[in-house]
Amino acid sequence: MVFPIEEVWVNRKVVKVILRGVKDKPGVAAEIFEKLASRGINVELIVSGPSSKGRADIAFLILESQLSKVKDLEDEIMEIADATGIGYDPKVALLTFYGTREISRTPGVAAKIFNVLAEAGVNIEMVGTSVDSISIVIREDLVDRAVMVLSDLLNLPIEEGYFE
């Protein structure tokens, strides 16, 4: 099997925002992310958990340089979401694996990445996929270990950086 990953990027300058107990109804997520966008806040990754009793958690990543803007909107976001809580975790990093559309057509790509990381003791806290990419969130202090094992697996240089 040809491994369909062509490039990997690491961004250590992100913060995970967790909205807990968000009211599960149409339009709530749209309104939350419209509010963020209206203040120039770009969201790098969004993950929503399953709904239970009409509520769900939504976690998303922002650049650390935009954290103060999110905190300025905290009360408004909490009201829009009818959320039970909000939390921030700045000790995370985003790894994004880019490739061709073959990522989504090749069984086992994510499994292979996840297994290599697990064997190295790296836990994945969030994951999102698209047709041509896989994005994961891990602890920032484990990035160097993850990069080392992933470089061996993929035989690719892993780029570090972010876009403001």
Query: Is 85 found in the same domain as 96?
Result: no
CA distance 42 to 98: 20
Q: Is 73 helix (H, G, I), strand (E, B) or coil?
A: coil
CA distance 110 to 105: 11
Domain boundary among 71, 90, 109: 90
CA distance 11 to 13: 6
Mutual angle of helices 28-38 and 74-81, in 10-degree steps: 160
Say which residue, 156 or 164, is predicted with more confidence. 156
- CATH number of the domain enclosing 63: 3.30.70.260
Domain boundary among 75, 90, 105: 90
pLDDT in tens, 83-139: 999 999 999 999 999 998 888 888 899 999 999 999 999 999 999 999 999 999 999
Q: Which domain holds residue 50?
A: 14-90
Q: What is the pLDDT of residue 106?
A: 87
Helix (H) or strand (E) holding 82: none
Query: Is 98 found in the same domain as 84?
Result: no
Domain boundary among 54, 70, 90: 90
Query: Is 115 found in the same domain as 81?
Result: no
- Domain total of the chain: 2
Q: What is the pLDDT of residue 102?
A: 81
Query: Is 71 found in the same domain as 123?
Result: no
